Amino acid sequence: MAVREITCSQAIAEALAEEMERDDTVFILGEDLVSNGGIFCQFKGLPERFPGRVIDTPISETSIVGSGVGAALTGMRPIVDMHFADFVTTAMDEIVNQMAKIHYMFGGQAKLPMVLWAPDGAGISAAAQHSQSLESWLVHTPGLKVVVPSEPADVKGLLKAAVRDDDPVIFFQHKRLFKQTGPVPEEPYLIPLGKADVKRAGTDITLITYSRMTYVCLEAAQKLEEKGIQAEVIDLRTLKPLDFDLIAQSVKKTNHVVVVHEACLTGGFGAEIAARIGEELFEHLAGPVVRVGAKDVPVPFSPVLEQYVLPQVEDILEGVDKALKRKQQALFIPRAANVR
Amino acid sequence: MEIDREKKLSLLKRMLLIRAFEEKAEELYQQKLIPGFVHLSIGQEASTTGSCMALRPDDYIISTHRGHAHILAKGADPRYMFAELFGRSTGYCKGKGGSMHIADFSRGILGANGVVGGGFPIMVGAGLSIKLRKTDQVGMVFFGDGASNRGTFHEACNMAAVFKLPIIFVCENNGYASTSPAEKMVAGGSVAGRAKAYGIPGYITDGSNVLEVLEVVHEAVEWARSGHGPAIVENETYRYKGHFEGDRQKYRSMDEIHMYRKNRDPIDKFERLLLEEGCLTIEAVAEIRAETAACIEAAVQFGLDSPLPEPEDALKDLYVNP
């Protein structure tokens, strides 16, 4: 299969073009989409190619998400653009009480095939209200599926699968990955929801991560290799459904785990992974399951503050030291106290 | 519009069915056969029936926490409704929804919504879907005076108006948002008056007059169906029962309730009119009432005879593709 290098933005536009071409019921709804193909140019070319199917709305997030629900219930496959993932807060009733519950609450009568596409994450000095990683809120709501891809090939395959899925899917796209390039096959393909991916094979420790932190973990793994430690990097890709089988397979091999996410540490998805590993794989562990996440403050504006709050390569290395119980003879110098 | 004898009889029958359903639900709730909460709409039958009977079977409605009447008025089967109220596996939602969450997608009933004002944005989506699919359906979203103060109402009115969506916003103003009088909580004097701000038609009806409601809503439906966009209809109505069953109703007097029951009861008024017009005889009325009572009894029996769900059914229906 022919492969070329494209960005995540291009992967998004390609995925949606293919799905809109294939299925007339697919349409995109949100603010400021038509003139530039979205504020991140993520839907570039689609408004011209599919007139009337990329729809600009008033600034009414509550009604935009609710509209997605109503359209999905009546035969359409909407993709709702959330502008910034932070704005899910203005449509929480629609997401949590309506979108997530309607199929179940009505006894399975109606299906709700919609994608809530939400650009999340920090690192561009967008400050506290435009930088959050809120996936654990939504994973905590039964009825939703949650996708958190990293590389362009995954973005494309998972987005196509999300559009075809008959359940509501929250698709978090990290803002700093829009320009990230990677090899993507020319031919159309799907990546099923609920399958994690080993981005780097290793035998000594498992780094479990997702979204942009996948790249940071790969960088950390490179540094670890220089010290003779072979880290396996697992990109979960979807948090719900969760591919625990792949986690188990890796942990049984490496016996050491660090879970890494950009969301703040307390109550983050890392806690869920750590708990499940503790419950189900205890006998395979040779050290503590360590979590690395952002510090428990809002994301600050000034780059120096923002960098301090977000997890860095050094934090992962420090986490590895802790997981390998090498505190007495640490391989790396601790950066700060965002590792527990 | 022409309302012939047959239509008038069906209006009366539907109102009687709703009243009988609600009175039976009250009785069964008091007997502790219905778990949870029940919000009754006894007294509001003309508003609900007149509105729903202006619709076609393929039109959509979204109902509220006080929703039994809307669902019956759109043609749902009282057997599956009682089964749902009893939490049985034969209920509309297999016992997962209960009184506040009944839906029948085969009849365009996109569900009763337990969140006050939760239905507006969803109906905007159904309206958008109608427009994208290029059908001539319409959608009707019911709400109370209380929900008219949710932001969702204003967002939905604006979005429906700018997109010219075929949506009829039907406010059943029963005078009270739970315990709070509408006159103290709704600015501007009326809900329909807010239509002006969105450049759409707003109507106020005597919600105790089923023919008036039907005629006005019919006009709004025709307006929406012919591509002109949304409209607001405010039916001035009254509920005889508390916000929920068990509500002590300290916010209003028994005299007030009595006055409405005596002078403005929608069913009494309509029955009298039909008798005066010679559409019906006293014997015929008695016969319809007896048929209605029998239908409700049979529906209750169906519900009571139905099996409870298996406990582990709680884990089903979460995803279409788990």
CATH label of the domain that carries residue A303 = 3.40.50.920
B319, part of any domain = no
Interface of B with A in 80-119 (CB under 8 A): 91-97, 101, 103-105, 110-111, 113-115, 118
Residues of A in contact with B126 (CB under 8 A): 70-71, 73-74
User: What's the gap in Å between the CA of B90 and the closest CA on chain A?
Assistant: 10
Q: What is the average pLDDT score of chain B?
A: 97
Kindly report whether the peptide bond that precedes residue A241 is cis, defined as omega within 30 degrees of 0: yes
Q: CB-based contact (8 Å) between A29 and chain B? A: yes
pTM: 0.95
**Residue at B54 is within a domain:** yes
Residue B320 domain-assigned (yes or no): no
Co-location of A177 and A212 in the same domain: no
* A41 & A141 share domain: yes
Residue A151 lies in a domain: yes
CB contact under 8 A, B96 and A105: yes
Q: Check whether residue A79 and residue A216 sit in a common domain.
A: no
* Residues A163, A257 within the same domain: no
Q: What is the domain count for chain B?
A: 1
**pLDDT (tens place) for every residue of chain B, 322 residues total:** 889 999 999 999 999 999 999 999 999 999 999 999 999 999 999 999 999 999 999 999 999 999 999 999 999 999 999 999 999 999 999 999 999 999 999 999 999 999 999 999 999 999 999 999 999 999 999 999 999 999 999 999 999 999 999 999 999 999 999 999 999 999 999 999 999 999 999 999 999 999 999 999 999 999 999 999 999 999 999 999 999 999 999 999 999 999 999 999 999 999 999 999 999 999 999 999 999 999 999 999 999 999 999 999 999 999 999 9
Are A117 and A210 contained in the same domain?
no
Chain A nearest C-alpha distance from B160 (Å): 10
Domain span at B11 = 5-312
Q: Which residues in chain A are closer than 8 Å to B81, comparing Cβ atoms? A: none
User: Do residues A77 and A24 make contact, with C-beta atoms less than 8 angstroms apart?
Assistant: no
A65 domain residue, yes or no: yes
Q: Are A124 and A176 in contact (CB under 8 A)?
A: yes
pLDDT tens-digit profile of A282-315?
Answer: 999 999 999 999 999 999 999 999 999 999 999 9
Structural domain of A309: 197-329
For residues A219 and A103, state if they share a domain: no
Q: Which of A83, A130, A256, A261 is catalytic?
A: A130
- Judged by CB atoms closer than 8 Å, whether chains meet at B91 and A107 is answered as yes
Distances (CA, A) of B269 to A4, A216, B45, B266: 75, 74, 12, 5
Count of domains for chain A: 2
Same-domain check for residues A170 and A230: no
pLDDT tens figures, A6-42: 999 999 999 999 999 999 999 999 999 999 999 999 9
A130 included as an active-site residue: yes
Residues of B in contact with A90 (CB under 8 A): none
Q: Do the domain assignments include residue B246?
A: yes
Interchain proximity B126–A73, CB inside 8 Å: yes
Report the C-alpha gap between B204 and B206 in whole angstroms: 7
DSSP string, A85-138: GGGGGGGHIIIIIIITTHHHHTTT------EEEEEE---SS--TTS----HHHH
Rounded CA separation B70/B64 (Å): 8
Measure CB to CB from residue A75 to each of B133, B316, B318 and give the nearest one.
B133
Query: Can you give the pLDDT at residue A336?
Result: 57
Residues A205, A178, single domain; the answer is no
The reply to whether A181 and A203 lie within a common domain is no
Structure tokens given for A160: 């196509």
> Residues A119-123: what's their mean pLDDT?
97
CATH of the domain at A83: 3.40.50.970
Each residue of A157-187: pLDDT tens digit? Answer: 999 999 999 999 999 999 999 999 999 999 9
Rounded to a whole number of angstroms, the distance from the CA of B111 to the nearest CA of chain A is 8
Q: What value of ipTM does the predicted structure carry?
A: 0.96
Q: Is residue A334 part of a domain?
A: no
Indicate whether B231 belongs to any domain.
yes
What is the token pair recorded at B249?
A: 């109703």
Cβ contacts (< 8 Å) between B107 and chain A: which residues?
Answer: none
Percent of chain B that is helix, strand, coil (3-state, to 5):
50, 10, 40
pLDDT at residue number B179: 92
Task: Out of A139, A157, A185, pick the residue that ends a domain.
Answer: A185
Spell out which residues of chain A touch residue B103, defining contact as CB-CB under 8 Å.
106, 109-110
Do residue A149 and residue A224 come from a single domain?
Answer: no
Does residue B322 belong to any structural domain of this protein? Answer: no
Pair A243, A288 in one domain: yes
